[in-house]
Amino acid sequence: MSRSLVPGLVAEGETDEIFLGMLIFRQLRELTWTSGRSAVDVEPAVIASCRSIREQERVAKALTDLASDCHVLFVHNDHRERRKAEAVQNRLSLPVIGLIPVKETEAWLLADRQVWSGFKGIDLRPLPVSAGDVERIPDPKRVLDQVVAQQNRPVRDYFEHIGRNIDLDVLRQVPAYAAWVAETANVLKGLGYL
Helix-then-strand count for the chain, H and E = 9, 6
CB 98 within 8 A of CB 85: yes
Other beta carbons less than 10 A from residue 45's beta carbon: 24
The predicted-structure confidence for 159-182, as pLDDT tens digits, reads as follows 999 999 999 999 999 999 999 999
What band does 87 get if pLDDT is binned at 50, 70 and 90? low
Helices 157-165 + 14-34 axis angle, to 10: 10
Tell whether the model's pLDDT for residue 92 goes beyond 80.
no
> What is the C-alpha to C-alpha distance for residues 88 and 63, in angstroms, rounded to an integer?
9
The predicted-structure confidence for 2-54, as pLDDT tens digits, reads as follows 899 999 999 989 999 999 999 999 999 999 998 876 689 999 999 998 887 76
